[in-house]
Amino acid sequence: MPSLLSPSRIVEEALLARNAASAAFFAHEAEPLAAACREMAERFLRGGRLLAFGRGACATDAQHVAVEFVHPVIVGKRALPALDLSIAFPEWVPALVTGEDIVMGFAGPAGDPEVDAALDAAGARGAQTFALCGPAGDYAPPIPSSDPFVHQELVEILYHTLWETVHVFFEHRERGHEVGAAGFLYPFLGAAKQEMGGIAAQVADSIRAKAADDEALRAAVAAEQAGAIVAAAAAIHERVARGGRVLTFGNGGSATDANDFALDCVAPPSGWHPVPALSLSLEPASLSAIANDVGIELVFLRQLVAHGGSADIAFAISTSGGSANIIVALEEARRRGMLTVALLGYDGGEIVRRGLADHALVVRSDYIPRIQEVQASIYHVLRGALEALANG
């Protein structure tokens, strides 16, 4: 029976339903997560590395967690060693893993036996293992959703809090009570040296607060932008019906989200219609060649010249809305008559001020992890709206 709710109301309720899952999960998992972070920090201090992997859309989570640890967004934080092994993880895990490493396997709600086997092999070598999700890890939280999109969103919040919290434990252990640029994340650490057990309890409270921040942002998007999400989905659907494709792109963590959205389009949940899509961020040879030969600002523009047609959709993901390579790519897309859609943070930045997106969806926050977490909810809900349109 068709829903009696309007499309905007369906989108709004889909966003709000995620908040209940988030609140339940982090209320239960904050303390175990804090303890796992403490061990991660100790392993990094002993020379351990973070090795991550997954298959399909779950590989984009391995990409994301690797870039977050290697290239932290907090000014002054050191790069921590992390690698995405997804392309050949059954071979790379036994070749690379040592007893000091942290090994993180990503899978959907149904799990992945090959990921489980790799985690078992890593654990047998003494590595700390995270099963996200599955039963095979030292830390294997029960994700409270069978929806692959909601599942993935909760996992993204989880590994962002891992990254944030590891820096706190890492610096407390190394420097005593001085936390430097991480102080704004955990202001209670700045006054005096504390015992690690007491810090773990307070970090757990802060993890719950971070999830609550996400929930407030998601509620604001639901209240203010449900109609804009529906309009963007309708415009994309119309282009796809004319033979268009979705061309996604972004930098860093946003690159992994662009990859994820493209995979969600072409390899959606069982029974859904595929949507033709490709990610310009998933082409390392092209990206490095263009950056080396003509400059980083042209890495997406050059690919749009090669791939973009007037029926296509340029789908940009940016936390700042001000990245030069995103801006020039959207300008090129406009010249080619493409539909332009931008998923943004802060106030939308130059992309909004210059009107470069036909449809701009903005998460109004100034903190990158929270922006990206809610952006994931938006593009997943938008993907659901595309499926509803395909079903008539």
Residues in contact with 287: Cβ distance below 8 Å, sequence separation at least 6, in sequence order: 281, 299
User: Does the pLDDT at position 324 exceed 80?
Assistant: yes
User: Does the pLDDT at position 185 exceed 80?
Assistant: no
Residue 271: left if φ>0, alpha if ψ -120 to 50, beta else—which one?
Answer: left
Residue 181's pLDDT is 45
Question: What's the rounded mean pLDDT across residues 373-387?
Answer: 98
Residue 173's pLDDT is 62
> Does 157 lie in the same domain as 287?
no
- Average pLDDT score, the chain: 91
> Does 252 lie in the same domain as 201?
no
Range of the domain at 267: 242-390
Residue 172's pLDDT is 67
Confidence of residue 43 (pLDDT cuts 50, 70, 90): very high
CB 300 within 8 A of CB 254: no
User: Does the pLDDT at position 54 exceed 60?
Assistant: yes
- Look at the chain and report how many structural domains it folds into: 2
Report pLDDT digits (tens) over 205-228. 989 999 999 999 999 999 999 999
Report pLDDT digits (tens) over 82-137. 999 999 999 999 999 999 999 999 999 999 999 999 999 999 999 999 999 888 89
Answer with the one of 191, 212, 233 that is the final residue of a domain: 212
Comparison of pLDDT for 3 and 289, the residue scoring more: 289
Q: For the whole model, what pTM was predicted? A: 0.92
CB 251 within 8 A of CB 325: yes
CATH number for the domain harbouring residue 203:
3.40.50.10490
CB 328 within 8 A of CB 301: yes
Question: What's the rounded mean pLDDT across residues 176-195?
Answer: 43
Tokens of 162: 């891992």
Residues in contact with 136: Cβ distance below 8 Å, sequence separation at least 6, in sequence order: 105, 115, 116, 117, 119, 120, 123, 129
Residue 224 belongs to a domain: no
Measure the CA–CA gap between 289 and 1, rounded to whole angstroms.
Answer: 52
> Does 14 lie in the same domain as 142?
yes
Measure the CA–CA gap between 231 and 361, rounded to whole angstroms.
Answer: 11
CB 156 within 8 A of CB 372: yes
Report pLDDT digits (tens) over 223-242. 999 999 999 999 999 999 99
Residue 147 belongs to a domain: yes
Residue 335 belongs to a domain: yes
> Does 272 lie in the same domain as 139?
no
Q: Within 13 Å of residue 241, how many CA atoms lie on the same side as its CB?
A: 12
Residue 230 belongs to a domain: no
Range of lowest pLDDT (17-31, 156-170, 267-281)? 156-170
